[in-house]
Amino acid sequence: MNHAYDVIVIGGGPGGYVAAIRAAQLGLNTVCIERYQGKDGKVALGGTCLNLGCIPSKALLDSSLHYDQARHGFALHGISILEPQLDVPAMLARKDAVVRNFNGGIASLFKANGVALLEGHGRLLANRQVQVTGADGSTQCISGQYIILAPGSRPIEIPAAPLAGEVIVDSSGALEFTRVPKRLGVIGAGVIGLELGSVWARLGAEVTVLEALDSFLPAVDLQIAREAQKILGKQGLDIRLGARVTATEVQGDRVKVSLSEAGEEQQQVFDRLIVAVGRRPLTADLLAIDSGVALDERGFIHVDEQCRTSVPGVFAIGDVVRGPMLAHKASEEGLMVVESLVGHRHPLNYGLIPSVIYTHPEIAWVGQTEQALKAQGIELNIGTFPFSASSRALAANDSAGLVKVIADARSDRVLGVHVIGPGAAELVQQEAIGMEFGTSAEDLGMMIFAHPTLSEALHEAALAVNGRAIHIANRKKKPAPSSTAK
């Protein structure tokens, strides 16, 4: 029997499960289809973010940071301890427990909100029909008034470094090392590569990051990227730019990597190699030939600004559509789509999606970079403030990095905020709220910030935009703007 629903969501990741919950809250008969199975063999909601990406990696980042601080940081606080002992299996068990806790939390939210869950692989057919194939091969067909495609993405594989057991792994496999590799290679100096490299470097691995591009973090503001490269290098990450991997050869429990660097062919041996060169949309076997949904040449689904596909009533969100592959972007798209179904307006400002790299210190930004704005011919006023001048950061012995605020020289409107330092993600989010409402640097400078806090660095950087910083010398005195943009 073909069961009919108001809303069918394919994919239970951060875009799909949020969309499903909100649809049910709005009174729509909703089902979510998910096939991913956890280590216990049961279907696990949360997608890559919860099960294989954001959450488990942050659990290991925090655990590894605690270990590193125990080894190198406690003495500065007057705390003397014996040499800390590392228990990698216990660390992994904690990571898995965090994931299971949230898996169960989403399942409970489904029950509380009346979202039906179908376990299996969803495939869109013609006329908004969806075929669901279970793990046992059984199939059923359901129909929906509205379909939301949210299947997520998967790591990109490269011919030069095919995955090989525990020796050559992708980002998921890098979360499962049961011991610390002595020599670890990472292909890709992007968000995932730097975060995973940081985890294992803190735990004692000699980490070499191989990046084919000649520039480091090209999407990041150049000043922040340079500071990040310097800090991460001091932490033990050997970041080699312009190093293109051409071949790999597994030799027992090691891997020999051939690479081209500065026009020379080289070879290096690692105990483990992580391939972290990006992700691709998971659209394979998602769409029947007659579904009518159009893909581009890279496998992304064509959508408009409201995430509508080429088929009426069918939407796509998250990693399978244009824009950054970020969990929070997918979630907000899911909310936008569902609320539009009942006539609510929920427009998204794609220009103000915060981005974060969870190294230590964190790297975060919102808005545009200095180089992008100058390329548009916009005259800028820029204020920076180092965490070395922050009383809160110094008290915590965590004072590397800086805050950078970029404003339009004519209107004083803030166009970008870029931070590397403690609490960078939280500081950027503060100003993302202000930028949504058109705040100026003067507005930010006139606000009262609690003392001592890390957020005072944001305050001082905003004051520095117009030459009014108090706790650092101003590069150039400037009169306060007579009016501010709103």
Q: Which of 77, 302, 451, 459 is catalytic?
A: 451
Query: Residue 223 is encoded by which pair of tokens?
Result: 């000043």
87: amino acid identity, one letter: D
Closest CA to 184 of 242, 136, 254: 254
Question: Tokens 């069961």 belong to which residue?
Answer: 3
Query: 401 in helix, strand or coil?
Result: coil
Query: 308 in helix, strand or coil?
Result: strand
DSSP lists the bridge partners of residue 142 as: 3, 130
Report the Cα 97 to chain-centroid distance in Å: 21
Annotation marks residue 451 as catalytic: yes
Query: 257 in helix, strand or coil?
Result: strand
Distance CA 273, CA 266 (A): 16
Distance CA 309, CA 296 (A): 12
Distance CA 266, CA 199 (A): 26
Query: 151 in helix, strand or coil?
Result: coil
CA dist list (Å): 141 to 34, 122, 283, 284 = 15, 9, 19, 19
Query: 276 in helix, strand or coil?
Result: coil
Closest CA to 454 of 393, 411, 403: 393
Question: Is residue 299 within 8 Å of residue 283, measured between CB atoms?
Answer: yes
Cite the active site residues: 451
